[in-house]
Chains A and B, each alone.
Chain A
Amino acid sequence: MRRQIPLMLVFIFGIFMIFQYFVPHESSEWIYEFLLDWIYIIGIFALALGIWSLIRVSVAKIKAHKSGWGYPIITLAGLFLMILFGFTGYRDGSWGFYFMTAEGLSNPMFRHFFDYIMIPIQSTMFALLAFFIASAAYRAFRARNIMASLLLVAALVVMLRFNPYLGPIGPVIADTASWLLNVPNLAAKRAIIIGVGLGMVATSLKIILGIERGYLGKG
């Protein structure tokens, strides 16, 4: 009962979605749209579970009083402040349970926290990639064997494609780089995508048929 019903649900909805793909009729589209709407709604309930988990882990750390126990307080403070800003707002001369108004977000603090805390941290985290791409290249691009050498040479050629100090070999490098990016790149990506596609299809089928049930907690 505890395992059979979920497996049956998986089978029924999986088969339905496969047939739905071949039926263009309106009724089939309606059901499809309903199902996708449902999933979004369930996702929000799950988010409540997530927030609960975040709070519990933070509280546990604070209680344990291990080193760095103060930081989870910042997490919780940020969380509750932002929830407060997100759920209350000022509209038409009074504070209340608002979010959007015709002019935009009803609570300016929500906007400020987004613009001046989330955005700078987010873009700086993203910008860390510039450093990590350099350090990864330095650390890993060693011509140890054929495969590593191919990786290294291809990367070097592409990185040199617009270098102005190469003299007569410059144009050759640029042509080679664009060939590498257009030809072998296409072939390899297509091979991977076909493989990934087959893997996805096979895994989906195994899920629908109840062969793969690792996601239910048993292998």
Chain B
Amino acid sequence: MNIFDRMMSLDRRWVFLLLVVVCAVTYIVPFQVPIRVEGEVRSIYDFIDTLKPGEIVFIAIDYDPNALAELHPMCYAVMEHCFRKNLKVIVTALSQNGPGMAEQAILNISDSLMLDREYNGVLYEGREIRNGEDYAFLGYKPYFALVILGMGQNFRIPFPTDYYGTPLDSIPMMQGVQNYDQVACVVDLSAGNITDAWISYGQGRFYFPLALGLTGVMGADYYPYLNSRQIFGLMAGLYGAAQYEEMANNPGLAKDGMRVQVYAHLVIILFILMGNIGYFMGRRDEKK
């Protein structure tokens, strides 16, 4: 049995062993893989990165805990980016089971903002993120389409008070903030049909810049809106989130996941190539 035959007929247990070792090691050891960033994610990052301190970004956390694995990384990456750039954030959670999860996410991000961090060569000092000054969490209201329409007139129509019961007029950062006109852009993170409402009732009527964060399977359906410029950016699935983390130089959950994926895929590809090299070389030897 020469080496080529062996390459072709390797015991599959070696495949299993290498795969499980690679998955476990890449999962446990926190090293970084580079992520290739595509245009539709880059444009979201660039848009937020070039905003001036004090401008407002509207982040709509419109997913349930069951889509958390794919969409939470996006939420963390975008919101931390906003806070580090001293932008203000308005957050809504228009999915019924979402508000508690969204609040927890805001608190977690606030905690990590307490630390000094260096991103892309710039040192950002840790600071305390204050409710009402750095962000306003409006919470949940039913009939999302009506809420999106109502906010086009005034945020105070669907949300007279924020999630904690404070009237919007008493919130410092909401002073003079009437509707989408005072917002730099809207980032909608969603796993369902709320996205369609943001496009048709929100962007379609009030013409604010809109970016989407979606689950992997939904991604392909929304590329046409990118072409028609109804949305200025799109992140889909874990890979989309990993691209944002890459741009922000802030590796998180998505890049952890992608690290395992990239290497697990490489292991499988390696074995496929090995089998084929063995096959072709073996055939050439036979012809001789």
Which residues 118-153 of A sit at the B interface, judged by CB distance below 8 A? 130-131, 133-135, 137-139, 141-144, 152
The CA of A135 and the CA of B266, in the complex, are separated in Å by 13
The CA of A165 and the CA of B34, in the complex, are separated in Å by 8
B89 smallest CB distance to A (angstroms): 29
Contacts of B268 in A (CB 8 A): 133-134, 137-138, 159
The answer to the question of A181 belonging to the interface, with a C-beta cut-off of 8 Å to chain B, is yes
A111 smallest CB distance to B (angstroms): 21
Q: Interface residues of A toward B: which range?
A: 20 to 34
Q: Known contacts A135-B12, A164-B262, A171-B36: does B220 contact A143 (CB below 8 Å)?
A: no
- Number of B residues, CB within 8 Å of A: 31
- Interface flags for A143-173 (1: CB within 8 Å of B; 0: not) read 1100000001001100110111100001100
The answer to the question of A75 belonging to the interface, with a C-beta cut-off of 8 Å to chain B, is no
The CA of A165 and the CA of B258, in the complex, are separated in Å by 13
The answer to the question of B276 belonging to the interface, with a C-beta cut-off of 8 Å to chain A, is yes
Contacts of A133 in B (CB 8 A): 268
Q: Is the interface of B mostly helix, strand, loop or mixed?
A: helix
Of the residues A139, A143, A144, A171, contact of B12 by C-beta under 8 Å = A139
- Given A131-B19, A164-B36, 20 more pairs with CB closer than 8 A: A130-B19, A131-B15, A134-B15, A134-B16, A134-B19, A135-B12, A137-B268, A138-B12, A138-B275, A141-B272, A156-B269, A156-B272, A159-B268, A162-B36, A162-B239, A162-B258, A163-B266, A165-B34, A171-B38, A174-B38
Q: Which B residues form the contact surface with A (CB < 8 A)?
A: 8, 10, 12, 15-16, 19-20, 23, 33-36, 38, 220, 239, 258, 261-262, 264-269, 271-272, 274-276, 279-280
Q: Which A residues form the contact surface with B (CB < 8 A)?
A: 130-131, 133-135, 137-139, 141-144, 152, 155-156, 159-160, 162-165, 170-171, 174, 178, 181-182
